[in-house]
Amino acid sequence: MSQTEDRAHADVAPGDEYAHEEFGSGLRSYLIGLGLALLLTAASFWVAQTKVMWAPAIPVALLTFAIAQMGVHLVFFLHLTSGPDNTNNIMALAFGVLIVFLLFGGSVWIMHHMNTNMMAPVEGGVRMPMQQGVPLQPQPGMPMQHGGGGHH
């Protein structure tokens, strides 16, 4: 029976409070998290309208702050640690990140190619973005399905 009890203590779900934890130290971790989160939010707003930084670097900085923000939430609010009791949570996070990466990256890649190949430019330029980098420029009046034929 001791083994179940060991595991019950070892495997703590995100957000579970540790029984032995002092109230003060728990509160301190939340306060540090809140401070960092506020700091990162303020920094994002500042970066968005600053003239100090090179303009093309601003999106990169915003992205960095956003990822750091996620990290702060995971560590201070969801209590994600690298300890052995946290393997399940780390694995779940890794799985989720991988799936989001596959779905998001894959969709962007696929949709970019399909737009390029299939969405023939319409007279009047409603579908302008698709005209760039068309591998096979469809002629006006050509059936749409032939757009991707050049690949095969």
Partner 1 sequence: MLGKLTWSAIPFDQPIPLVAAALVGVVLLGVIAWVAIAGWLPYLWREWITSVDHKRIGVMYVLLGLVMLIRGFSDAILMRSHQALAYNAPGYLPPEHYDQIFSAHGTIMIFFGAMPFMIGLMNFVVPLQLGVRDVAFPTLNSVSFWLTATGALLVNVSLVVGEFARTGWWPAPPLSETTYSPGVGVDYYLWAIQISGIGTLMSGVNLVTTILKMRAPGMSYLRMPMFCWTALASNLLIIAAFPILTATLAMLTLDRYLGFHFFTDEAGGNSMLFMNLFWAWGHPEVYILALPAYGIFSEVISTFSGKPLFAYRSMVWATLAICLLSFTVWLHHFFTMGPGGDVNGVFGITSMIIAVPTGVKIFDWMFTMYGGRVRFTTPMLWSVAFLVTFVVGGATGVLLAIPPADFVLHNSLFLVAHFHNVIVSAVVFAAFAGYAYWFPKAFGFTLDEWWGKAAFWFSLVGYVWVFTPLYIVGLMGMTRRMQHFSVAEWYPWIVAASLGVIVMVVGVVCQVVQLVVSIRRRESLRDVTGDPWDGRSLEWATASPPPSFNFAVMPHVEGEEAYWAIKQRAREQARLREEPDYEPVEMPLNSPTGFVCAFFATLVGFAMIWYIWWLAALGLAGAFATFVVFAWRDRVEYEIPADAVARINRLNRASRLEALQQARRKEAA
Q: Which residues bind partner 1 (CB under 8 A)?
A: 1, 3-4, 11, 13, 88, 95-96, 98-99, 102-103, 106-107, 109-111, 113-119, 135, 145, 147-148, 151-152
| CB contact at 8 A, 120 and 143 | no
Q: Which is nearer to partner 1, 45 or 109 (CB)?
A: 109
Q: Which is nearer to partner 1, 2 or 25 (CB)?
A: 2
CA distances from 145 to 65, 80, 111 (A): 43, 50, 16
**Tokens (6 digits) for 83:** 């300890």
Closest distance between partner 1 and the C-beta of residue 78, in Å?
A: 16
Closest distance between partner 1 and the C-beta of residue 19, in Å?
A: 17
**Tokens (6 digits) for 97:** 């990140």
Closest alpha carbon to 68 in 29, 104, 39: 39
Q: Which is nearer to partner 1, 7 or 28 (CB)?
A: 7
Q: Which is nearer to partner 1, 68 or 118 (CB)?
A: 118
C-beta pairs of 8-13 under 8 Å, 24+ apart in sequence:
10/84, 10/85, 11/85, 11/88, 12/79, 12/85, 12/86, 13/89
Closest distance between partner 1 and the C-beta of residue 121, in Å?
A: 14
Closest distance between partner 1 and the C-beta of residue 100, in Å?
A: 9
Closest alpha carbon to 40 in 16, 82, 14, 75: 75
Q: Which is nearer to partner 1, 38 or 97 (CB)?
A: 97
**Tokens (6 digits) for 149:** 């034929």
Closest distance between partner 1 and the C-beta of residue 102, in Å?
A: 5
